[in-house]
Amino acid sequence: MNNASIFVSCLPKDKNCVQISSTWHRLNYNVRINQSLSHLYVQVGHHKNLIGGAEIMKWGLKRAASSRAAPAPGKKPILLEYRSSKTFIIFSMCWCVFTDVFLYGIIVPVIPFALEDRVHVAHADTQHWVSVLLAVYAAALLFFSPIFGILADWTGSRRTTLLAGLVILSGSTLMLCLGKTIPVLVVGRMLQGASACVVWVVALALIADTVSEEEAGKAMGYVGLATSLGVLVAPLIGGVVYKRVGYYAVFGVTFAVIAVDIVLRLVLIEKKVAQQWLEPDASATTLSAQPNDVPLQVLNESGKVAEKNAAGSTAGPPELPAKRKLPPMLILLKSRRILVAFWGTLVVSMTMTAIDTTLPLFVNQIFGWDSLGAGLVFLALIAPSFIGPVVGHYTDKYGPRWIAASGLLLSVPFWVLLRYVDHDNTGQAVLLCVLLVLLGAAITLVMISLMAEFSKVCDVKVRQEPDLFAGKSAYAQSYSLFNFSWALGSLLGPLISAAVRSSAGWKTMTWTMAIFCAVGILPTFLYSGGVITRSKRSHRNGEGVLGDENT
């Protein structure tokens, strides 16, 4: 052992605490870990510059000082175990996602009539302003996603950010309900897009905080299920309520759904907050892990130099230059796995919005179906998404590589075969519905597996470079990239599909979408879950599908 001793105190089961301790232990330094305190404290003996040690020590001392001044936990909240349970948190966040999708979808069939009856827009201009309101929503998603991602990770409190998003959502819904001018409706849709950023960024990040890395896929499957329910029932309820009861009754339904969401968000207690009452204090123990027991690999340049010098010298490690810190979002964007997941999400979003844009008019021209028939045919596309939890389970078990790549591969022929639906008879209608079911299943394979990938890559990056993340989670920033890619696809999908169909026809549009799917197959196969050759090597070494640290 070298002369320096490292003492670490942290919250129980704190990943960063364990990884920091593991880093020092691999360099043959005496490491002690204490999990009885509510702060992270690092004492590095006479050496303060090993692998960001000075930075960690400075941050730890600051946290220790604030922790000593903090009051002891108060009275234990009522039903704490249930309010902070994994099941309740996942259910609450799924309801949160359902609320967002429901509020988006319930007013879609109402907006055209509201523009004409309340805002007095000419019938010829209605389609233009409907498109503007849809574009404003997508633009708000693009703009606010990185902002709320950084803010949510910086504040550390998911619940507070979610409640702020709920205030924005309530305000936007009220504006859409009472607005009688175009500017008010535009601002309302913009705020609705901003609140959607909070939901999709912070809710997914809170789920990632709550479940283990091996459960992320299944949890995201339930999110996909909640999304499908919202997409399925919202337009139906909106259309029926508007026709039977009237405009304000539609928003009465939305405020009822928001009220349930308010209750769930107020009742919810984050696991990291609940730990101060649920976790008993533990005495200090000595970390005795061997290097092979630690999944951490010190991949930064200074770490490699330090390990080499530590192995060859007993006089202590040399002074190392401090590693320049990058924002967590930029660190994540350096990952090939994130870029592949970004592209896959973009393609799925483009696919869904392309169908939303072109299918209603297509079935009207070919089969003569009205809005009801066009709405019902979407059930074929949405129905396969109910297997989302099953897809998530197998993603956790086998990794995302084969599932996501298979989904993209299967999407190509299904898109191409849609070109053969070109005349009106029962067989053609059946063919259309079957192809939409198969395409929906392929989309579900891609979507659920890649949603989980965003959190898994974040876990890997924290293990690789714990000093750069300074004990903070980056899940919200990771899912802000997911949200950004989805919003970008929502903008590009309608523009590309509508332009190609109007200039070259339905058949050209279908193989154009097939090309976008095909482009992502090889990168997804090579990099999802880690570089394929290194993943196989990790599996042979007993690390399993999640053992690959190469991103």
DSSP letter string, 46-114: T---STTHHHHHHHHHHHHHHHHHSPPP-SPPTTHHHHTSHHHHHHHHHHHHHHHHHHHHHTTTTHHHH
Question: In which residue are the tokens 């078990």 written?
Answer: 397
Res 550: pLDDT? 53
Res 361: pLDDT? 79
The residue-averaged pLDDT of 528-550 equals: 55
The residue-averaged pLDDT of 440-461 equals: 88
pLDDT at position 437 over 90: yes
Q: Are residues 44 and 130 in the same domain?
A: no
In a domain, 124, yes or no: yes
Task: For residue 209, give its domain range.
Answer: 81-274
In a domain, 245, yes or no: yes
Instruction: Choose the weakest-confidence range: 105-109, 408-412, 531-535.
Output: 531-535
pLDDT at position 189 over 60: yes
Cβ-based neighbours of 533, under 8 Å, separated by 6 or more: none
The residue-averaged pLDDT of 295-304 equals: 39
The residue-averaged pLDDT of 220-241 equals: 85
Res 474: pLDDT? 78
Q: 437 burial class (0-12, 13-18, 19+ CB within 10 angstroms)?
A: middle
Helix, strand, coil % over all residues of the chain, rounded to 5: 75, 5, 25
Q: Where a domain ends, among 74, 90, 124?
A: 74
Q: Where a domain ends, among 74, 95, 118?
A: 74
pLDDT classification of 431: cutoffs 50, 70, 90 = very high
Q: Where a domain ends, among 14, 47, 74?
A: 74
Q: At what angle do helices 158-178 and 126-155 cross, to 10 degrees?
A: 160
Q: Are residues 21 and 86 in the same domain?
A: no
pLDDT classification of 473: cutoffs 50, 70, 90 = low
Q: Is the separation of the CB atoms in 133 and 189 below 8 Å? A: yes
Q: Are residues 101 and 242 in the same domain?
A: yes
Which phi and psi (to 5°) does residue 5 adopt? -120, 145
Q: Does 324 or 138 have the greater pLDDT score? A: 138
pLDDT classification of 547: cutoffs 50, 70, 90 = very low
Res 499: pLDDT? 85
Q: Are residues 399 and 260 in the same domain?
A: no
The residue-averaged pLDDT of 162-189 equals: 90
Q: Are residues 370 and 234 in the same domain?
A: no
Q: Are residues 542 and 434 in the same domain?
A: yes
In a domain, 401, yes or no: yes
* Token pair recorded at residue 65: 């000082």
Residue-wise pLDDT tens digits, 339-391? 999 999 999 988 888 887 788 778 888 888 876 677 778 888 888 988 888 99
In a domain, 403, yes or no: yes
Q: Are residues 345 and 362 in the same domain?
A: yes
pLDDT at position 26 over 90: no
Global pTM reads 0.70
Cβ-based neighbours of 390, under 8 Å, separated by 6 or more: 221
Q: Are residues 193 and 69 in the same domain?
A: no
In a domain, 436, yes or no: yes
In a domain, 157, yes or no: yes
In a domain, 515, yes or no: yes
In a domain, 194, yes or no: yes
Res 503: pLDDT? 87
Residue-wise pLDDT tens digits, 47-86? 333 334 444 444 444 444 444 444 456 788 888 888 989 9
The residue-averaged pLDDT of 224-233 equals: 86
Report DSSP letters for 220-286, one per residue.
HHHHHHHHHHHHHHHHHHHHHHHHHT-HHHHHHHHHHHHHHHHHHHHH---HHHHHHHHSPP---EE
Q: Are residues 234 and 356 in the same domain?
A: no
Q: What is the CATH number of the domain that holds 522?
A: 1.20.1250.20
Q: Are residues 248 and 119 in the same domain?
A: yes
**Which one of 38-42, 148-152, 170-174 scores highest in mean pLDDT?**
170-174
Mean pLDDT of the chain: 75
Alpha-carbon Rg for the chain, nearest whole angstrom, is 26
Q: Are residues 250 and 366 in the same domain?
A: no
Q: Are residues 138 and 257 in the same domain?
A: yes
Res 156: pLDDT? 66
In sign, the C-alpha dihedral spanning 254, 256, 257, 259 is positive
The amino acid occupying position 275 is: Q
The residue-averaged pLDDT of 225-237 equals: 84
Res 470: pLDDT? 57
Q: In the chain, how many domains are there? A: 3
| Measured CA angle at 94 (ends 114, 150), to 5 deg | 90
Q: Does 372 or 228 have the greater pLDDT score? A: 228
Res 259: pLDDT? 93
